[in-house]
């Protein structure tokens, strides 16, 4: 039987060689590969600063800290995301609330954000940071979000874990043209991988410096940052309570090698998306609608069943066929941890409707045309046979 996951990495012989070279070199960590990878990401995003970390979760935490998030602050994100988009603010002791998603893009709804901001101002408690998430690789409406951020005085932290290689109004996601910090993930199911890893990009050199320092225990050796006079070449200072969130050189070398194939990865994903769009037309489901301002990186291909009651049957039938369908995501506010903080069913109806109807179909560059045809054929067969009814 076939076994087709929903996503997986594509590792080339060049990737293997890049890692082996580091293994034979002097530095497995804190060597030249991490800064080289950071420069490659920064260049790719239009000349911004890039700070590598051991995961996107760590990078989100560093970004929140660098943006000054702390106890008593408020951070907003969307419920339709991986839990890490919200957890990063909790690590800093901040309160979190959610903004419902758009019914067509499943990204942050700009009208919902505008309304919630108006209400928040009336109550006297505005968010310090808003974390829009480029779900499935489709960019959020960054320009109107930026307008609101300037009007209401909050920072924008893009969770672009799904979206390296995507563009918005012709600019690469990660350029931070409409935001303060952008975070990418390099987990193996994402567009580009380092095994585990993440990068934060920013145009602000101070934010970049703060994130880099917090990534490594809050320690600095930079003369300009020292509190006391330097005593000699051995001298360093811990200025803040930082962490060990460093990426290794092994990971960075893999990432840099992978990054050279980013355009090919995204092109193959977009081609698979077009094939799905055509092959699934006429079925009782909604294929992914694309906002004209964005070009998705196609991390995921999510369909929504018109009849949510058939989802479970269809899901189980496809899994029995060896097709690794998945759900991205159960709404964060319905997780027990978040329910204990006071959230409940019904709080964010669009995110909940989406989660009841959605199925992620297999989507990754190495997915063959033949395997994709099999996925489509099984989906059509089950829907035609009334599976789940
Ligand atoms: C994968 C993911 C993360 C976390 O990434 P890690 O690199 O695994 O820490 C955060 N947010 C979103 C939306 C993700 O999909």
Ligand 1 pocket member 184 (CB < 6 A): no
User: Which residue's CA is minimally distant from atom 5 of ligand 1?
Assistant: 56
At 389 the pLDDT is 83
Predicted confidence at residue 388, as pLDDT, reads: 83
* Residue 360, ligand 1, Cβ within 6 A: no
Assess whether the C-beta atom of 198 lies below 6 angstroms from ligand 1.
yes
- How far apart are the CA of 82 and the centre of ligand 1, in A? 6
190 is catalytic: yes
**Phi, psi (5° rounding) for residue 289?**
-80, 140
Handedness of CA 321, 323, 324, 328 (dihedral sign): negative
Query: Ligand 1 mean position to 161 CA, how many Å?
Result: 5
- The C-alpha torsion from 65 through 67 and 69 to 70, rounded to 10°, is 60
Residue whose CA is closest, atom 10 of ligand 1? Answer: 84
What is the CA(283)–ligand 1 centre distance, in A?
31
Index of the ligand 1 atom closest to the CA of residue 190: 1
The alpha-helical segments, DSSP class H, found in 203-329 are 205-215, 249-259, 262-279, 311-320
Q: Which of 82, 90, 158 to mutate to test the pocket of ligand 1 (most atoms within 8 A of CB)?
A: 82
Q: Write out the DSSP string of 114-143.
A: HHHHHHHHHHT---SEEE-B-GGGPPP-HH
Residue bearing tokens 């690789």 = 137
* H or E element in which residue 59 lies: helix 56-66
* Nearest one of 67, 83, 331, 50 to 197, comparing CA atoms: 50
Give me Rg for the CA atoms of the chain: 22
pLDDT at position 386: 86
In short, whether 209's Cβ falls inside 6 Å of ligand 1 is no
DSSP 8-state secondary structure symbol assigned to residue 224: G
Strands (E), the chain: 49-53, 74-77, 95-98, 129-131, 155-159, 167-168, 171-172, 181-185, 198-202, 219-220, 237-238, 285-286, 294-295, 301-305, 358-361
pTM of the model: 0.98
Q: Which residue of the set 116, 128, 155, 190 is catalytic?
A: 190
Q: Is 159 in the pocket of ligand 1 (CB under 6 A)?
A: yes
pLDDT of residue 1: 84
Instruction: Calculate the alpha carbon distances from 124 to 118, 152, 176 in Å.
Output: 10, 11, 28
Low-confidence ranges of the chain (pLDDT < 50): none
Contact 324, 6 (CB under 8 A): yes
Residue nearest to atom 2 of ligand 1 (CA): 161
Rounded distance between C-alpha atoms, residue 253 and residue 15, angstroms:
8
Q: What is the pLDDT of residue 323?
A: 98
Cβ–ligand 1 distance for 55 under 6 Å, the answer yes
């Amino acid at each position: 039987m076939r076994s087709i996951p929903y996503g997986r990495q594509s590792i080339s012989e060049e990737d293997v060689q890049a890692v082996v070279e580091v293994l034979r070199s002097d530095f497995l960590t804190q060597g030249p590969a991490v800064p080289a990878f950071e420069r490659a990401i920064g260049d790719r995003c239009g000349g911004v600063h890039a700070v590598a970390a051991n995961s996107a979760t760590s990078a989100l935490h560093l970004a929140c800290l660098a943006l000054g998030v702390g106890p008593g602050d408020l951070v907003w994100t969307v419920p339709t995301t991986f839990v890490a988009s919200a957890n990063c603010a909790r690590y800093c002791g901040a309160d979190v609330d959610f903004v419902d998603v758009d019914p067509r893009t499943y990204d942050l709804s700009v009208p919902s954000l505008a309304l919630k901001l108006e209400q928040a101002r009336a109550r006297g408690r505005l968010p310090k940071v808003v974390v829009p998430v480029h779900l499935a690789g489709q960019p959020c409406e960054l320009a109107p979000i930026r307008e609101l951020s300037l009007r209401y005085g909050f920072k924008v932290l893009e969770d672009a874990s799904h979206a390296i290689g995507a563009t918005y109004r012709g600019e690469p996601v990660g350029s931070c043209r409409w935001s303060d910090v952008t975070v990418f993930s390099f987990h193996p199911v994402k567009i580009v991988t380092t095994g585990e890893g993440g990068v934060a990009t920013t145009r602000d050199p101070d934010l970049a410096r703060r994130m880099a320092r917090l990534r490594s225990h809050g320690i600095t050796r930079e003369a300009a940052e020292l509190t006391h006079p330097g005593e000699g070449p051995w001298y360093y200072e811990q200025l803040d309570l930082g962490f060990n969130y460093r990426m290794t050189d092994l990971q960075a070398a893999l990432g840099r090698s992978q990054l050279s194939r980013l355009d090919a990865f995204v092109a193959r994903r977009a081609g698979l998306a077009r094939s799905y769009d055509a092959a699934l037309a006429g079925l009782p489901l909604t294929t992914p609608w694309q906002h004209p301002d964005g070009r998705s990186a196609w991390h995921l291909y999510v369909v929504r069943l018109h009849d949510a009651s058939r989802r479970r049957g269809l899901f189980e039938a496809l899994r029995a066929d060896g097709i690794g369908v998945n759900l991205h995501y159960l709404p964060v506010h319905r997780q027990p941890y978040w329910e204990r903080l006071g959230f409940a069913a019904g709080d964010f109806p669009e995110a909940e409707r989406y989660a009841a109807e959605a199925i992620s179909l297999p989507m990754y560059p190495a997915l063959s045309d033949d395997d994709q045809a099999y996925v489509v054929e099984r989906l059509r067969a089950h829907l035609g046979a009334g599976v789940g009814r």
